[in-house]
Structure 1
Amino acid sequence: MAAESSTLKASLQSIEAVRHQDKATRQDDGFLYQKLLFDCPMTYETTPGGKDTAWLEMSAELLYGRKGDDVQKILFTEKNVKDLLRTKKILVFLCGGPMDKNEANRNPTMNELLLDKGYWILFPDYRGTGQSKTYRDVPMGKPSRDNRIVPQQIGNKWYKKLRQTDIVRDLESVRRCLLGDKKWETLGQSFGGWVSLTYLSFHPQGLEKVRIAGGLAPFDNARDVYKSLFRLVIERNDDYYLKYTGDVQTVRKVVRWLAKKDMNRDSVVLPKGNLPEAGLLTAQRFLCMGRMLGARGTWEKIHDTLAAMESDIENDDTGNQLTDETLALYKHNDSWRIDDRPGYAVMHEAMYCVQDGSRSNWAAHDIAQKFSRQYWWVNCDLKQISAELEKRDGKLYFSGEMVYKFFFDTYGGLMDKELKEEAFALAEYKWPEKMYDDGQLSKNTVPVNAVSYKEDMHVDPVLSEQARKKFGNGSMNHELVGEGLEHAALRTHTNKVIDLLWRT
């Protein structure tokens, strides 16, 4: 800790006002924002000469009020922003992911409630996401030898430096830069809870209070986590088919049709858009729509997509076509958004590598074999699926939030050869740092309020309750709630979740 402390350094390089639109009306959303840009070390180790080799350009947005408030009169400058922040309650919102951008205007209701509680809210883009995707060989404030500082994109070689352990180093570096000795509070949603636990493990001195929504992370290894998650997803499939009983046969019909095309090397090609490669809608990729089962409010979208596909298959004379409208509907309802955030697939299983020396090794792909009655199709060759379908009756089970090897052959955003090679190398990589420090958490004194959901398909509430027991000194207040709340409840039931998190 002491040795690392000297490398936790960031410098504020620029500040500018930004505006966001309301997603529904496309009008100014009425909030006041400032964009802050920092230099953070890309690696927190140093070269033998003691100089950092690269500097991350880390972006964060500060939401500090509403249009018309007195604070609108504040003129922010690089010189006064630190003094202003040190007089305010600062809350850092840690978004879900991994590898997702942190949009400050994603949840206006939450923003309103937090402003009413007196917070200024910081929305940092984690390294490698959003507007934190570039680095430089020298800090922005220093000229290079030829007086040109050319930013470079964070590419595949940097994935080993994009986990929670380095994310929290960035956060703590920024806190020290902005606030000095003053602490701040955090609110972590989903993966933001993973980040919160890592922060509590290694840099608790920067935290005043921590709140976690649907993200009290499991301390188990990846395989044990997936054993739990597959069981939850199977239950959700059964619930879905109880509601939409006719979809049992519809899904079989669609999968049979897709599998036949796959077998004939004529897989459905999805619209390419701005991607370098067009994705393929194979039978396997189609059965990964089950990520949407995690929110019952989206089940109708699954049903509508199935109905559109069935209609196309039945009404096309050649039996060889899905309409552009149906393909667009599928892409719109594909909640993975991997083509927009390929790093999500690359880094997903890494967040379960909690011990030093652990590796993911395609854990979901492997554990699927232990649920062979439901997930026989995961490890099938595309040519085998048609034959297997003829042997098996009944329901076909959608998969949940599990990333498989075949994603890198079916999602256009993942088909880059170097990206695929890096993803497969990372699956074998032994992560050299543990994610959490059990000893530190057992003596934790930072107050933590966490809410987990009995009906969460993405984070097993049983494992969350086990995680709670890691905390000592009565520092963890964990509420397990039902009432129809699910993984995304901070967005869908914002008032309720905020009330729960601020109850004590």
Structure 2
Amino acid sequence: MSEPATRDRFWLSDHTFTVPLDHADPDGPTIEVYGREVRRDREERPWLLYLNGGPGFSSPRPLGGEGWLRRALADYRVLLLDQRGTGRSTPVTRNTLARLGSPARQAEYLTRFRADSIVRDAELVRKALSVDQWSVLGQSFGGYCAVTYLSFAPEGLKEVLITGGVPGLGVTADDVYRRLFATVVDRNAAHYERFPEDVDRARRVVDHLRANDIRLPSGRALTTTTFQSLGSQLGSETGSTRLHYLLESPFDGPDLSDAFLVEVERELGWTATYPLYSVLHEASYADGPGATAWSGSRIRAEFTGFGVDDPGPPLFTGEVIDPAVFDTDPALVPFREAAHLLARKDDWPPLYDAAQLRANRVPVAAAVYRDDMYVDRELSLETARTIAGARPWLTAEWGHDGLRASNGAVLDRLIGLVVKPAGGPGPAG
């Protein structure tokens, strides 16, 4: 027997798979999908496929201190899948997109990178590894993918664990954003109640940005909308504190300080690494026909406080893509025309099958976070009630990043729930 993994040591193996770009055309162009196998030792254990949040984020690169991964490795061998277009899978970048030619061809290509294609990739990967059935753990957007998996390929699943990622069924992007913006307003209020000094600091920054053309070190314009997008971190365990620290000393005399601009860029600079997130975020809500039409930006206008002339403290936005980002962010400008075409697309295929979910026979356990800023709690619970035998766990102890922040406790709870006989909706408190 080989030496077992310590806190920072485990067995890693690389796997690369060739899959169709379009699963409806298996003999057409192909791309590669990469997965990193992680094992604590050489003992045989069942497979667990990990589907990361996103869309458009690569799977985590483990260093050994991740509590959730240590808990998973006690029972499973884990495959960390770089979902198509990310990480070591065939990438989607400004360069690869440019080689496709026209914006129309680029947009058509990008439609192949949603959850439905990711699930079909996973099925080909499972068969290539000679796995009869495997367990799936979906975090955030990965949970959306897991519900798509339950809808269209349940025969490949032994069990499903979802954390902060049970999507709404039969809802539009407008429905989702309308609910989430109400939560974002509450998160702003909680932040300013905790750090009342941030009201004046944020207002001063907003006023300065309105009066001046400010550039981040990369050359990206720092607009009021860009500044407000820093609120996307308010949904994480430490996000409010990080935002407060960012606002501690934003000025150097009458000017924004270099240190502040560098920190803002650090918070926002991931767009160059993960452009698919911005391009496909709204498309991840398109469950069937209907254009998203920059839903987040439209719905934001329904709520007082997000406009720079609105009374009261300036409100930070949450997980929303403003179309202006494709004009102001150099990393996203090359995606602009394709992104606008995707926003106008009105013939999206469905991502979920409610009838199949009602007939589900796969054990499912899901952590639903009561105050989740990124996934609406009530929509999640309604879907969990639709999935036959699902066992939702509604918790206020952890936020959206509970899988990471809980040092393995959230995953341990889900494993405990899913191994029990499924009889009704299960615990919800």
> How does the TM-score come out when normalised to structure 2?
0.89
Q: What's the secondary structure of 1:284's corresponding residue?
A: helix
Task: Write the mapping of 1:85-484 to structure 2, written as runs, cut at 5 A.
Answer: 88-105=45-62, 108-117=66-75, 119-133=76-90, 156-157=106-107, 158-179=109-130, 182-219=132-169, 220-261=171-212, 267-272=213-218, 278-309=219-250, 311-312=251-252, 315=253, 319=254, 321-334=255-268, 337-355=270-288, 357-371=289-303, 373-377=304-308, 388=309, 392-416=310-334, 419-472=335-388, 475-483=389-397
Query: How many aligned positions are there?
Result: 401
- Structure 2: stretches of 5+ with no match in the other structure: 1-5, 101-105, 418-429
Structure 2 partner of 1:385: none
Q: CA deviation at 1:179?
A: 1.7
Residues 296 and 108 (structure 1 numbering): CA distance in 2 closer, same or farther, change over 3 Å?
A: closer
- Structure 1: stretches of 5+ with no match in the other structure: 1-21, 23-27, 72-86, 136-150, 262-266, 273-277, 378-387
Q: What's the secondary structure of 2:174's corresponding residue?
A: helix
Residues 375 and 328 (structure 1 numbering): CA distance in 2 closer, same or farther, change over 3 Å?
A: same
CA separation in 1, counterparts of 2:272 and 2:141?
19
Q: CA deviation at 1:471?
A: 1.5
Tell me: higher relative CO, structure 1 or 2? Use CA pairs within 8 A at least 6 residues apart: 2
CA separation in 2, counterparts of 1:70 and 1:202?
33
Preserved CA contact (<8 Å) 2:234 2:318: yes
Q: What's the secondary structure of 1:226's corresponding residue?
A: helix
Q: CA deviation at 1:406?
A: 1.2
Residues 108 and 176 (structure 1 numbering): CA distance in 2 closer, same or farther, change over 3 Å?
A: same
Determine if the alignment matches structure 1 residue 61 to structure 2 residue 61: no
Q: Among the aligned pairs, what percent are the same residue? A: 31
Worse overlay, 493-502 or 168-177: 493-502
Aligned-residue CA RMSD in angstroms? 2.1
Determine if the alignment matches structure 1 residue 498 to structure 2 residue 429: no
CA separation in 2, counterparts of 1:44 and 1:393?
51
CA separation in 2, counterparts of 1:324 and 1:411?
19
Which amino acid in 2 is paired with 1:495? G
Structure 2 partner of 1:146: none
Preserved CA contact (<8 Å) 1:134 1:154: no
> How does the TM-score come out when normalised to structure 1?
0.76
Preserved CA contact (<8 Å) 2:37 2:79: yes
Which amino acid in 1 is paired with 2:232? R
Preserved CA contact (<8 Å) 1:134 1:152: no
Residues 179 and 162 (structure 1 numbering): CA distance in 2 closer, same or farther, change over 3 Å?
A: same
Q: CA deviation at 1:70?
A: 5.1
- Structure ID, larger Rg: 1
Q: CA deviation at 1:503?
A: 1.6
Residues 420 and 349 (structure 1 numbering): CA distance in 2 closer, same or farther, change over 3 Å?
A: same
Which amino acid in 2 is paired with 1:350? A
Q: CA deviation at 1:154?
A: 8.7
Q: What's the secondary structure of 1:34's corresponding residue?
A: strand
Q: CA deviation at 1:338?
A: 1.6
Q: What's the secondary structure of 1:63's corresponding residue?
A: strand
